Amino acid sequence: MKVLIVLTSHDELGNTGVKTGFWLEELAAPYYRFKEAGWDITLASPKGGQPPLDPKSNEPGFQTDDTRRFEADAEATAALAHTVRLDSVSAGDFDTVFYPGGHGPLWDLAEDTVSARLIETTLRSGKPVGLVCHAPGVLRHTVNEDGTPLVAGKKVTGFTNSEEEAVQLTDVVPFLVEDELTKLGGLYSKTDDWQPYVLTDGLLITGQNPASSAPAADAVIELVTKAG
């Protein structure tokens, strides 16, 4: 099985001068879930090359066994340093697509037409898409074949308004994931802040926060394995 993991190329938190990017746990935990399933992993980002890591995600309080393992893994860090350009990949070459979060995707991937087409094409060809934490916000411009929002009428979750409030970025982000998914007609639900919560609706898998990244990857593996 082949999985494409799509990371952000955006490294600024609005006009604050503070750095952002992808959240390490949300890459590392799924990466090892897929690796242990024996899958072939390709990393991609809009600009290609080394995607920006949210420096906060590598602070001691946010490190996990998976993040430490990733940082010490020469093969993993080399793959991360050489992500392929998103516009160079074809949905047909992969069995599934997975989007880690971090705040970066709200600025670039959420507005990226290549990313939107990739998600739409993957789902329409009967293959699952997983998105975790802020990454469900990347669905904001994705549509069904009839032009309706992709998430309309679907059970979805993502980073909550209260979690965004807790990290004091409510007024910095371009939009709030919870509000956006709700506005688009998604059947948004959540659990307590920072607790794992994953929803599967058909081929669409969404996770609420960093703690949801490993279970979201497990849900993707389960769906792909069933289909295979």
Residue type, 73: D
Closest CA to 87 of 51, 44, 136: 44
**Which helix (H) or strand (E) segment is 99 a member of?**
strand 96-99
- Residue 227: per-residue pLDDT: 81
Express each pLDDT in 141-189 by its tens digit. Answer: 999 999 999 999 999 999 999 999 999 999 999 999 999 999 999 999 9
Bridge partners, residue 96, by sequence: 3
Buried/exposed 54-81: b ≥16 CB within 10 Å, e otherwise: bebbeeeeeebebbeebeebeebeebbe
Q: How many CA atoms lie within 13 A of 131 on its CB side?
A: 28
Average pLDDT over residues 81-94: 98
For residue 219, pLDDT over 80 is answered with: yes
What the block records as the tokens of 149 is 């929002």
- Residue 188: per-residue pLDDT: 98
Nearest 5 degrees, angle CA 19-CA 163-CA 156?
105
Cβ distance 198 to 171 under 8 Å?
no
Closest CA to 198 of 120, 140, 133: 133
- Residue 228: per-residue pLDDT: 73
* pTM of the predicted model as reported, rounded to 2 decimal places: 0.98
Nearest 5 degrees, angle CA 211-CA 109-CA 94?
80
**40-45 and 204-207 beta bridge pairing:** unpaired
